Structure formats: C-alpha cells, structure tokens
Structure 1
C-alpha cells in the first residue's frame, strides 16, 4: 500500500516544494527529471494551517503552532495517514524542547499516527548523518534564530556560527531566488561545521539540494527536506532517494 504522509504547512510561501519532492520520490528507477505523482511511491498530502499573522515574532509563532490550529489541520488532512509532520520549524522550536515534545505528542494523539515536527527532524537528520557541529543560516530575526540554536543544543547539536537575515514574513522568504539561497548557504558556513542548516520551511530548496551540497562542500540540511525525510522515516519508508540531498543518499 502506498504510504501517505500528512504535511501541516502554515500559510503560503514554499508549499510547492512538496509536490516537487513527491515527484522525485515517485520517479521510476533510472529515469531523469520530474514525473507526476501516482506511480506507486509515497504521497505527501498537504494542508495549509491557519496563520492569523505572518510574522517571525515569538507571539505570532506560538499562535500558529497552537494545539487547536494543528488539530484543525489534522481534520482537514483526512484519512488514512501513515505519519503526520508539523512542517514549521519556528512554530515548533519556539516552544522549547519540552514544549515542542508536548506539541507533537498532542498532534499524534489527534492524528492517531506517528507525528513529529521540522525542528525534531533537524535533530534526527543530524543524528542519522553523525553530525554534532553545524552552522545555521536562518531567515529569521536574531531573537527567533537564537531559540533555534538553544533547541539544537538541547538535542546535542552545537551551533558554531549563526547567520540571521532578519526577514519578518514567511511570504517574503518564499520569494528569495535560487542564487540568493545558494549564496546564503555558502556565506553561513563555518570551517569547522560538519553541515549547514537552513531552518525555514518558507524557503524554496527542493530542486536545489544537490547543488547546495556542492556549493558549500558539505551537507546542507533544509527545512522542507528534513520534514519530508522525517515523515517517510516515521511511516517506515527509509530508502535512498537521489536528488534530495545527503540525508536521503
């Protein structure tokens, strides 16, 4: 049976990364380019959750990650599902490690399937690759980005350097062009980091993942990438997929 991953995505910015990834996940072995879904591979079923205010600001982020908002999203996803992911990094790490744990526990209880969030996906992807030292390129303002650093530290990942672009809205992040994303990742690197993390699901990165790794010269983990990987892993689908970066290799 084809596994289905429920993706809860706040607002509108880079949600088209998910059908792009689904096309890569479903392409026939040995073929090139993108193919339409429905070829027997995993499905990524996306629902836009309520975003009352689009702002990388702590109070707004606590609101979009509320249990009531996510529960409504699960109802809209429908069934059956094999796993569900809250695909919002800032709307999970802003609660802190314990609060983010409580968030995904509540999400899993409502969904009735394994659940996680992008923040935990970053920690788990680092563990999969044996990464303990990273550089972070965050689109957020400094105060929000520092909360991601603290979250990673609680998960055993040391941040050697932090670059924050200070962008307030997810909508603006979603407009950043390909070359800007590549340059931002390269500029955020630290010579002693084992990987660079780009922690915003509003950032378009699917289709750039191998290029990001090549530009930086080490794994670049991105929010939509690790969200998809985590969902597949929780659903019991843990096979290599070319074109989706180091964690899928």
Structure 2
C-alpha cells in the first residue's frame, strides 16, 4: 500500500505538532521543514519570511522525502503578498521543488470555502488589525465576504502557539457573527486540530482553521481521499479533486 507524503514548509516553531497529529490520524506523512525569520506579525517581516529564497530552502530540505504535494504553511506569509503575489509565490515554490503540486495556506482557505460553497464568513484572526485586514482583502478578491473580523493583536507567532484550547474557543466565539456561514481562523501558529469539533459545536457552524485547511489542501493536491469528521465539516465528505 502506497503511503503518501505531503511536505509542509513551516515558519519558525509554534504549532507544528498539529501536523504530527494529522499524520497519526490520517496515515499520511507530513514532514515539516522549518524556515526562520522574525516571527513578528508585521508586513515587512512577513514579506521577508515568504521570500523565494527562504521557501526554496524549505523545498530543498524536503526533497529527500519525495513529497506528492507541498504546502507553504503560513497564512500571513502568503496573503501579505496579495492574490497575484501569492500566486507567483506558489508558482516559484513549485518550480524550486521540481514541479511538485504546490499551494499555500491562504489559497487552501479559498479552495476550502469554494468546496463548502461558502461566501460569507467571520474571521477570528490572532494578528494585529492591519495584518488581519489584508487577509480580509485576500478573501474578498476570491469572492468571499468577511461580514466581521477581529484582529486579536497578538504580536508574534510564538505567543499564538501558547494559546490554550479554551482561549481559542473564546477568541472564536467573540469573532463570530450571525450572518456568517462559517468561521475562519487563519493562523498556522495556533493549535486547533485536536478540538475542531469542539470549536464547531461552540460556535454552531463550520469552522476552518489554518492547520486544518493546510492538511486538507495537501491531501487534495496529492489526490488522497479521506473522510475524518473529527477534523471538522471540511472532512465530512470525500474532497473534490477536480480543480487545482
């Protein structure tokens, strides 16, 4: 039986153990290559973090794993480039990885929302307000309306990684809006995979989190079909592999 591999390029250290949890649950390898920079949630630092040279270094580190797909697991380090820049970022990363199917967490959100036929969301962001607003703009360019968004103002990814499940639940509930079809939680530095169903029950609607959609997008690109309801509404049915 073939065991698939989805390579994850991850900034610094915060919630990368979510991918080890996913590997154990799904029977898919999720090797993580770390790239490093200042983990400040600020535009100049995020642009540097997602630069072609750093991402190419991550791809090189994963080359021996021979991944079936590759995902840049940093929402803010992709949407900060805007839709066109984020697309070029993915294309350059794919080329550096030898044409491996490649995406980023920002595009994973867009694809997941499209599959769920969701166009109105509430955004529970951990970032400062100005960075959170750039994510809202990224979604808007894809036809998704953020009916509300909250920027929690947490300055670094390391701080986000220390949030407890209770704190994440509180953040989610505070950001929700009755007009939103789903709640979006965009930071890969935030632990969420172990309590996604609790999150959805807490707000009473589908919840998409950064590490969840990153895993889902990698599986989609690798052509792996999986149903795992414990990972939320997004994993309740076999994914559609039609569009990449």
Q: Same fold (TM over 0.5)?
A: yes
Tell whether 2:68 aligns with 1:67: no
1:188 to 175, 199, 209: 175
- Check conservation: 1:7, 1:45, Cα contact below 8 A: yes
What is the aligned partner in structure 2 of residue 18 from structure 1? 19
Deviations 1:58-90 (A, max 9, x none): 000000000000000011112311000000000
Q: Counterpart of 2:234 in 1: which secondary structure?
A: helix
CA positional deviation for 1:49: 1.0
Q: Counterpart of 1:243 in 2: which secondary structure?
A: helix
2:63 to 72, 75, 78: 78
Give the Cα–Cα distance (whole angstroms) in 2 for the partners of residues 238 and 22 of structure 1: 14
What is the aligned partner in structure 2 of residue 57 from structure 1? 42
Give the Cα–Cα distance (whole angstroms) in 2 for the partners of residues 2 and 105 of structure 1: 26
**TM-score scaled by length of structure 1:** 0.92
CA positional deviation for 1:19: 0.5
Tell whether 2:155 aligns with 1:154: no
CA RMSD of aligned residues (A): 0.7
Q: Counterpart of 2:16 in 1: which secondary structure?
A: coil
What is the aligned partner in structure 1 of residue 33 from structure 2? 47
Give the Cα–Cα distance (whole angstroms) in 2 for the partners of residues 156 and 185 of structure 1: 22
CA positional deviation for 1:110: 1.1
Give the Cα–Cα distance (whole angstroms) in 2 for the partners of residues 185 and 216 of structure 1: 7
CA positional deviation for 1:12: 0.5
- Check conservation: 1:24, 1:243, Cα contact below 8 A: no
What is the aligned partner in structure 2 of residue 202 from structure 1? 189
CA positional deviation for 1:185: 0.7
Tell whether 2:8 aligns with 1:7: yes
CA positional deviation for 1:147: 0.2
Unaligned runs of 5+ in 2: 237-244
**TM-score scaled by length of structure 2:** 0.94
Give the Cα–Cα distance (whole angstroms) in 1 for the partners of residues 175 and 229 of structure 2: 25
Which stretch of structure 1 is more off in the superposition, 235-244 or 195-204?
Answer: 235-244
Q: Counterpart of 2:10 in 1: which secondary structure?
A: strand
Give the Cα–Cα distance (whole angstroms) in 1 for the partners of residues 142 and 15 of structure 2: 26
Q: Counterpart of 1:187 in 2: which secondary structure?
A: helix
Unaligned runs of 5+ in 1: 26-40
Q: Give 1 or 2: higher helix fraction.
A: 2
CA positional deviation for 1:242: 2.9
CA positional deviation for 1:239: 2.1
| Residues paired across the two proteins, number | 233
- Check conservation: 1:90, 1:200, Cα contact below 8 A: yes
- Check conservation: 1:136, 1:162, Cα contact below 8 A: yes
What is the aligned partner in structure 2 of residue 105 from structure 1? 91
